[in-house]
A and B are shown apart, each in its own frame.
Chain A
Amino acid sequence: MLRELYQEMIIDHGKNPRNFGELNEANFKQVGHNPLCGDKLVVYVHAENERIQAVRFKGEGCAISMASASLMTELLEGKSLQEAQHLFEQFHLLVTGGVTTDDLGKLAIFAGVAEFPVRVKCATLAWHTIMAAIQRDKEIVSTE
């Protein structure tokens, strides 16, 4: 069970997150923070004509939260805002119920989170944050 949660890819992305850093051309930006956990990140999105051109993030936190953010940025690059919303819903079903779909690609490895309900908020923080950014929601996001 532990191996299912902490798979090599998650450890790797947790330690060496991809698309890590600020984005000067960002026209959407939002902060996500779980104060009880200590997970904190900022998501930057550059979107044009309803399509995500680039997405990056900066932050610090547990391996689950950082790996989730990293893999999310890889998946969402090039997707439309509508597709991003759809994938967010699918990811949520994945980490709460273990329901996998082909659309999620590499993110299917997060199915293991469903066995550790306490960590769902870590896995979903980046996703809630990017949705808030795209929807221009003013409040800092928390999944606690």
Chain B
Amino acid sequence: MLDKALAINALKLREDFPILKQHNRGNPLVYLDSAASTQKPLAVINAISDFYLTDYANIHRGIYELSERSTSRYELARKSVQMFIRAKEANEIIFTSGTTAAINLIAHSLSEYGQWQAGDEVILSVAEHHSNLVPWLLLKERIGIILKYIPMHDTGELDIDAYKQLFSARTKLVALSHASNVLGTLNPIEKFSEIAHSHRVPILVDGAQVVPHMPVNVQDLDCDFYVFSAHKFYGPTGIGALYAKKNWIEQLPPHHGGGGMIETVSLDQVTFVKGPTRFEAGTPDIAGAIGFAAAIDYLNKVGMQNVFAHETALLDYAEAQLLQIPNLKIIGTHKPKVGVISFVIEDIHPHDLGTVLDHEGIAVRAGHHCAMPLMTRFGVPATVRLSFGIYNTHADVDACVAAIQLAKRIFS
């Protein structure tokens, strides 16, 4: 069956992902959960194992050739990340173990640098993923900071006028997702940055759900910090990146201490290196960084503009199909969106729907998606969420819709 004309040839791309050939409960796997994590192409899997086969050694420490090669590849990976998100310098990229680790790092280092105290304020939105909520709730418990929330319209659009009113003399940071992992709605970060900076407040942006779906330019966004994980864009688990503007890299104190980030250590003193490695204590996930770079190479060949066009076409097609199903409601309709759709069906609990879909081979997520406050905002215990990746096709959407119709028949 020839797939409809798409910006990328997803059917051909699927050949790079052998894991998709398997069955789920006896039916061909239809993987529609890329927002949770993406599958990895052979190019990434091979890059990691080839690295261990030929170039692996500990980095930044050895004086032998193998170690130089390993270090060089790790630093080239840093450069790859810099160019991918169009940061000014490679020295603005810190490798972390993921988005959650990066946000926790900023929570610790920034609050220490700014000497945050009880009554200081952080602005968040009601739609944040728990990884950009819990670190701030922990600070609230530990030092008594106040959290203020940007409200959301029923459409899924954040209320930017209400945002402007949230600032005070005590505001220390804005921490905001680039797109909702539940609704898919994209937030206009340039505007949010401008408003934050007009109050001399820095802004941290959680880009985990956007970097896999469209080109990102952190200089245009003008955010102070931008964080994302490799496993959400066709790279390995265990590694992510934290972009921080150069002045922050220079000013922020380290959070984790150990080898690789020090200049000198004596029994009662320590001095630290300058630059991003100051935040990379210990032996990092070197092979993970190599896999990260391989995923970037792979995506660059596909073209991020093409990825966005492909997923937008799937999103539009899926919305049109889903809206034909009686009593189905899509949560969050505001455009533009990344390729994520959450919906509920009257009289069918999301878990019952998820089980039927699972049985038909469809992998979707049914639950609160690590965004409990957002569920409360929309008055639902859970939603079913479809999310697209570069390997999804119109046929995947058709299979999902057929399974939903089966569920409707079972529960009627």
Contact = CB atoms under 8 A, between A and B. Distances in A.
Interface of A: 1-2, 5-6, 11, 14-15, 36-38, 60-64, 116, 118-119, 122
Given A1-B25, A36-B368, A11 B349 contact: no
Given A37-B382, A63-B349, 7 more contacts: A1-B25, A38-B382, A62-B350, A62-B352, A63-B352, A63-B411, A119-B355
B381 A5 contact: no
Contact of A15 (B347, B367, B368, B381): B347
Interface residues of B, number: 16
Contacts of B350: 38, 62
B351 A62 contact: yes
Interface of B: 25, 347-352, 355-356, 359, 367-368, 381-382, 410-411
Nearest to A118: B355
A116 B355 contact: yes
Nearest to A11: B411
Task: List 4 tightest A-B contacts by C-beta distance, closest first.
Answer: A38-B381, A62-B349, A2-B359, A62-B351
A122 B359 contact: no
A14 B353 CA distance: 14
27 contacts: A1-B359, A2-B356, A2-B359, A2-B410, A5-B355, A6-B352, A6-B411, A14-B352, A15-B347, A15-B411, A37-B381, A38-B349, A38-B351, A38-B381, A61-B349, A62-B349, A62-B350, A62-B351, A63-B349, A63-B352, A63-B411, A64-B351, A116-B355, A118-B355, A119-B351, A119-B355, A122-B351
Contacts, number: 46
Contact of B351 (A2, A37, A60): A37
Contacts of A38: 349-351, 368, 381-382
B412 to A, nearest CB: 9
Contacts of A61: 349, 381
A36 B130 CA distance: 13
A116 B355 CA distance: 8
Contacts of B411: 6, 11, 15, 63
A15 B346 CA distance: 12
> Which of B348, B349, B368, B410 lies at the interface centre, i.e. has the most chain A CB atoms within 10 A of its CB?
B349
Contacts of B381: 37-38, 60-61
Given A1-B25, A36-B368, A122-B351, A6 B356 contact: yes
B223 to A, nearest CB: 32
Nearest to B359: A2
> Which of B347, B355, B368 lies at the interface centre, i.e. has the most chain A CB atoms within 10 A of its CB?
B355
